Amino acid sequence: MSLAGTTLHPATSRFLDRPPTMLIGGRWVGSARDETLATLDPATGATLAHVPAGGPDDVDLAVSAARRAFETGPWSRATPGERCRMLWRLADLVDAAAGELAELETLDSGKPLSASRGGDIPAAAEMFRYMSGWATKLEGTTIPVGPPGSFHAYTRPEPVGVVGAIIPWNYPLVLAARKIAPALAAGCTVVLKPAEETPLTALRLGELVAGAGFPEGVVNVVTGYGETAGAALAAHPDVDRVTFTGSTDVGRRIVEASSGNLKRVALELGGKSPNIILEDADVDAAIRGATRAIFTNAGQVCYAGSRLYVHRRLFDRVLTGLSASAAAIRLGHGMEPDTQMGPVVSDEQMQRVLGHMERGVAQGARAVVGGRRRGDTGYFVEPTIYTGLDDATDLVREEVFGPVLVAAPFDDLEEVASRANHSVFGLAAGVWTRDVSTAHRLAARLRVGTVWINGYGASDVALPYGGVRQSGWGREKGREGVEVFTETKTVVVTL
Average pLDDT over residues 451-479: 95
For the chain, what is the mean pLDDT? Answer: 96
The model's confidence at residue 367, banded by pLDDT at 50, 70 and 90, is: very high
C-alpha to C-alpha distance for 173 and 179, rounded to whole angstroms? 10
- Whether the CB-CB separation of 481 and 475 falls below 8 Å is answered with yes
Greater pLDDT, 262 or 200: 200
- Whether the CB-CB separation of 276 and 430 falls below 8 Å is answered with yes
Residue of 84, 196, 302, 382 with catalytic role: 302
Whole-number pLDDT of residue 264: 87
- Running DSSP on this structure, what letter comes out for residue 8? P
- Whether the CB-CB separation of 22 and 16 falls below 8 Å is answered with no
Long-range Cβ contact pairs of 389-394 (< 8 A, separation 24 or more): 389/360, 389/363, 389/364, 389/365, 391/419, 391/422, 393/360, 393/363, 393/364, 393/365, 394/356, 394/359, 394/360, 394/363
C-alpha to C-alpha distance for 242 and 264, rounded to whole angstroms? 6
The model's confidence at residue 5, banded by pLDDT at 50, 70 and 90, is: low
DSSP letters along 197-265, please? Answer: TS-HHHHHHHHHHHHTTPPTTSEEE----IIIIIHHHHH-TT--EEEEES-HHHHHHHHHHHTTTT-EE
Whole-number pLDDT of residue 9: 87
Whole-number pLDDT of residue 1: 44
pLDDT of residue 233 exceeding 50 = yes
Q: Give 315-353 pLDDT, tens digit per residue.
A: 999 999 999 999 999 999 999 999 999 999 999 999 999
Q: Give 392-439 pLDDT, tens digit per residue.
A: 999 999 999 999 999 999 999 999 999 999 999 999 999 999 999 999
| 3-class SS of residue 304 | coil
pLDDT of residue 100 exceeding 60 = yes
DSSP letters along 421-436, please? Answer: H-SS--SEEEEE-S-H
Residue of 103, 126, 268, 336 with catalytic role: 268
Q: Note the pTM of the prediction, 2 decimals.
A: 0.95
302 is a catalytic site residue: yes
- How many CA atoms within 13 Å lie on the side-chain side of 476? 26
- Whether the CB-CB separation of 253 and 227 falls below 8 Å is answered with no
Average pLDDT over residues 452-457: 96
The model's confidence at residue 3, banded by pLDDT at 50, 70 and 90, is: low
pLDDT of residue 2 exceeding 70 = no
C-alpha to C-alpha distance for 395 and 382, rounded to whole angstroms? 16
Sign of the CA dihedral 277, 283, 289, 291?
positive
Whole-number pLDDT of residue 4: 52
The model's confidence at residue 259, banded by pLDDT at 50, 70 and 90, is: confident
C-alpha to C-alpha distance for 331 and 338, rounded to whole angstroms? 9
Whole-number pLDDT of residue 16: 95
C-alpha to C-alpha distance for 196 and 177, rounded to whole angstroms? 17
Sign of the CA dihedral 302, 306, 310, 315?
positive
Using alpha carbons, select from 128, 127, 109, 106 the residue that is nearest to residue 117.
106
Whole-number pLDDT of residue 258: 87
Average pLDDT over residues 68-93: 97
pLDDT of residue 66 exceeding 90 = yes
Average pLDDT over residues 102-125: 97
C-alpha to C-alpha distance for 281 and 482, rounded to whole angstroms? 37
268 is a catalytic site residue: yes
Amino acid at 413: L
C-alpha to C-alpha distance for 149 and 342, rounded to whole angstroms? 67
C-alpha to C-alpha distance for 352 and 338, rounded to whole angstroms? 27
Q: Is 489 exposed, middle or buried (0-12, 13-18, 19+ CB in 10 A)?
A: exposed
- Pairing state of beta strands 162-166 and 151-159? unpaired
DSSP letters along 108-120, please? Answer: HH---HHHIIIII
pLDDT of residue 158 exceeding 90 = yes
pLDDT of residue 229 exceeding 50 = yes
Average pLDDT over residues 445-469: 96
Share of the chain above pLDDT 70, in %: 99
